[in-house]
Amino acid sequence: MNTVGQLLLHPHELKDVIQYKLYHERLHPWDLENEPEDVQECYKLLKMTSRSFVRVIEDLNPELRKAIMIFYLVLRALDTIEDDMTIPNEVKVPILNEFYTYLDRDEYHFDGNGPNEKDRLVLVEFNYILREYKKLKKPYQALIQSNCQKMGEGMAKYCEDKQFNSEGIKTLAQYDEYCYYVAAIVGVGLTEIMLEADFINPAIKEHPELVDSMGKFLQKTNIIRDYREDLEDGRVFWPSDIWAKYTKNNDISEFTKPDMIQNALYCNSELVCDALRHAPDCLLYLTCVKDQSLFDFCAIPQVMAIATLELIFRNPEMFKRNVKIRKGTAVSLIYRARSVRSVCEIFLEYAQRIHERVTSDDPNYLAIEIAYGKIQQTVESIFPSQLPVEGKVVSTAGMSYQQIQTLKKRGPNAKNQEQPSKSELVNLYAAFGLSFLLIFGSLTLAAWMMGARFDLVWGDISKMII
């Protein structure tokens, strides 16, 4: 079904799409036509490799827009080498280990990818990226290079791991480690760049687990969703300690068989439950982001991920084809995810749908219940439904995250600044009364000057009273 048909079947999404198109204002419009050729070419590469990221990067604060674009393209180039199965390991591994050093060169490009590698142009035209990289502030260059080194060495490690190449990921610990190297490092780098620009609360440095979870939540969601696509490519990223429990002959492809669909759904629910354990950390991370454009950049992929998890949870279709959320849903989420409160509401909404769909015969029933409960607890800790203020319990409904934090800091004996004091109420009523008298007097005077006979009106009123 086309996008228009889907929107007509989901009017609430149609409403959000229309409102987004009509009223969405870009925070930091980017005049690309006046940018140098190298920037324009980098933007074309960005648009070619990731339509989902291009819009949020466009809207970023100008201080970080180019730094994050270049960081993304450098890591995309690295990933394009690692992901290409046509490149032999004796060529691939040295490049992955040394790629960060290529950023010190004046020129570098690579044309050894297979002809069907969709992002090969990023490496063929890497000189555009390299020139813009060298124009960035030195601290940003250092952070990009450092994280490129970590990711490249991690990828090389897995390329050389014979057990990984023959058996795939075995344990949950290996699964977490793999997701760290291919995704969480991206979040680490972005956080370090935001810290350098003072766009995130420095307290985040004391909680590396929050940064870690941001990348792992996205990566695990993609790994679960891409089961069929990876299976057809001859790759397995689901940890065998999980999926093997639900097979008869220790073969992950069994989940495509109709008679194994129930076991496939049980396996699916365990993997989704594992991904959900990162959700509370993601919400706490977002409370630390200080810049609105950076908040959008961080929040939008997270709400897409929770919506994707809900879509694929116990969904037999994902074992037949690669399923994705509707375009209308995506636009609706982008439109809604503008604050910490709205993101928390989105997470609760989709987590509740997952919670409602799990059946009591599912061996992961209790674990799903607990995961949902932890998300609820986290949201309650961020936005407590009630707070003690001056000896009273005050509802926080409608308050922003910043307003609630202000009340928390002032303590239970503080007056609630959201509630007007008695003197403020007196002043408010006095101002209202004076305004009423002034308006009433002005209208009465205007009516009298135009010939109104108030003596007759008063006489009629007197007769009615008598």
Q: Which is more confidently placed, 285 or 118?
A: 285
Query: What is the pLDDT, as a whole number, of residue 405?
Result: 66
- pLDDT above 90 for 223: yes
> Which CATH code fits 31-160?
1.10.600.10
Mean pLDDT rounded to a whole number for the chain: 87
Q: For 153-157, 324-328, 402-406, which range has the lowest pLDDT when averaged over its residues? A: 402-406
Q: Is the dihedral of CA 318, 321, 324, 328 positive or negative?
A: negative
Question: In this predicted model, which residue has the larger pLDDT, 127 or 331?
Answer: 127
pLDDT at 432 over 80: no
Which CATH superfamily groups domain 194-383?
Farnesyl Diphosphate Synthase (1.10.600.10)
Contact 60, 68 (CB under 8 A): yes
Quote the tokens at residue 61.
Answer: 């604060």
pLDDT in tens, 243-269: 999 999 999 999 999 999 999 999 999
Summarize the confidence of residues 98-120 as an average pLDDT: 94
Q: Which range scores top for mean pLDDT: 102-111, 113-122, 456-465?
A: 102-111
* pLDDT given at position 85: 86
Report pLDDT digits (tens) over 7-44: 555 566 566 656 655 556 666 778 888 899 999 999 99
In the chain, CATH 1.10.600.10 covers: 31-160, 194-383
What is the rounded radius of gyration, in angstroms, for the C-alpha atoms of the chain?
Answer: 29
pTM value? 0.81
More confident residue, 433 or 65: 65
Residues across the chain: 466
- pLDDT in the model for residue 152: 96
Per residue in 207-221, pLDDT tens?
Answer: 999 999 999 999 999
Q: What are the residue numbers of the active site?
A: 178, 225, 235, 297
Mean pLDDT of 314-335: 90
Higher model confidence: residue 413 or residue 430?
430
pLDDT for residue 417: 47
At residue 326, the pLDDT reads 84
Eight-class DSSP state of 213:
H
CB neighbours of residue 410 within 10 Å: 14
User: What is the pLDDT, as a whole number, of residue 416?
Assistant: 47
204-212 long-range contacts (CB < 8 A, ≥24 apart) are 204/285, 204/288, 207/284, 209/281, 210/281, 210/282, 210/284, 210/285, 210/288, 211/184, 211/187, 211/285, 212/180, 212/184, 212/187, 212/188, 212/281
